[in-house]
Amino acid sequence: MKAMMQPAERGAVAGSDQRTLVLTRMLDAPRELVFEAWTHPKHLVRWWGPADFTLPHCEQDFRSGGAYRFCMRPPDGSDHWVRGEYTYIDPPSRLVFTWLREDAEGDIWCDTVVSITLEQHGTRTKLILEQTTFATVAHCEEHAIGWNQCLDRLVHFVERSTNNL
């Protein structure tokens, strides 16, 4: 399977609210498969995070009201912690969770909500990621870079995993 990703599908900051992020991807995979990639640490450690990041710590209680806590690590070895709660899960079409980024001291510097919507389009899936509302435009732009790279990795993971999830 090949991901058909046009530049316009990559998205950026959307609408008049420059502190809301909306990104889209078209994946050549059924939405059940794309949804499954979000549901278990064994999948997440293979694609989560920006390019060249690893996920050395991945705790996940994948249910409405369940928590997650991830540590993303870039090549420089620094740790970037994120945690939150799954507030809504409707397999295989929708997932909503809080997003709390921690600094090195454990203080929260980003408190937003992420929603993932998966729409079946024939044999393809349209993924829509919306994250709102950032405290600053700069935080939104930073997350746009990270999420675009993360979604690129998801596309490649799903392509390689069509029969293995």
Amino acid at 44: L
pLDDT tens by residue, 98-141: 999 988 788 888 899 999 999 999 999 999 999 999 988 889 99
Q: Say if residue 13's pLDDT is above 80.
A: no
pTM of the model: 0.86
DSSP string across 88-122:
EEETTTEEEEEEEEE-TTS-EEEEEEEEEEEEEET
Amino acid at 1: M
Q: What is the mean pLDDT of the chain?
A: 88
Reported as a pLDDT band with limits 50, 70 and 90, residue 1 is: very low
How far, rounded to the nearest angstrom, does the alpha carbon of residue 33 sit from its chain's CA centroid?
Answer: 15
Query: What average pLDDT score do residues 85-98 get?
Result: 98
Question: 10 Å Cβ neighbour count for 40?
Answer: 13
